[in-house]
Amino acid sequence: QVPLVESGGSVVQPGGSLGLSCAASSFTFITNDMHWVRQAPGKGLEWVAFIRYDGNNKYYTDSVKGRFTISRDNSKNTLHLQMNSLRPDDTAVYYCAKGSTTTIDSWGQGTLVTVSS
């Protein structure tokens, strides 16, 4: 596993916003595609968003389209996920992950987002 360290998880009220970050090291970030995957408490894995190595292509799962934005800063080896209009069912551990359009080969340790009043 390559080091991927997420940060930014917190408790937020429904309708609120939160930004997650993922710091990458020990690999060439600029040449690698990246994903966000989430896992609700006690549940399975759900793919959330993808961004190509150059930031030119982005894909989202339907439930977050229009609310979440994935981005990256290749000069700082950092991946971001901006989450707006948060709902209780967005509560999950959010994993930053490295991979390609067809796979995920490394995962971070995750950061917990709790949406609750």
Partner 1 sequence: DVVMTQSPLSLPVTLGQPASISCRSSQSLVSSDGNTYLNWFQQRPGQSPRRLIYKVSSRDSGVPDRFSGSGSGTDFTLKISRVEAEDVGVYYCMQGTHWPLTFGGGTKVEIK
By beta-carbon proximity to partner 1, the closer residue of 85 and 103 is 103
Q: Which is nearer to partner 1, 50 or 68 (CB)?
A: 50
For the chain, the C-alpha Rg in angstroms (whole number) is 13
Please report whether residue 62 would count as binding partner 1 according to CB under 8 A: yes
Got the DSSP string for 66-103? TTEEEEEETTTTEEEEEE-S--GGG-EEEEEEEE-SS-
The single residue among 46, 71, 87, 91 that binds partner 1, judged by CB under 8 A, is: 46
Nearer to partner 1, 46 or 114 (CB): 46
**CA dist., res. 117 & res. 114, Å (int):** 10
Determine, following the binding rule CB under 8 A, whether residue 68 of this chain makes contact with partner 1. Answer: no
Q: State the Cα–Cα distance between residues 71 and 60, nearest whole angstrom.
A: 12
Could you say whether residue 104 binds partner 1 (CB under 8 A)? yes
How far is the C-alpha of 76 from the C-alpha of 42, rounded, in Å? 33
Q: Residue 37 or residue 115: which is nearer to partner 1 going by CB?
A: 37
Where does this chain bind partner 1 (CB under 8 A)? 1, 35, 44-47, 50, 59-62, 95, 100-110
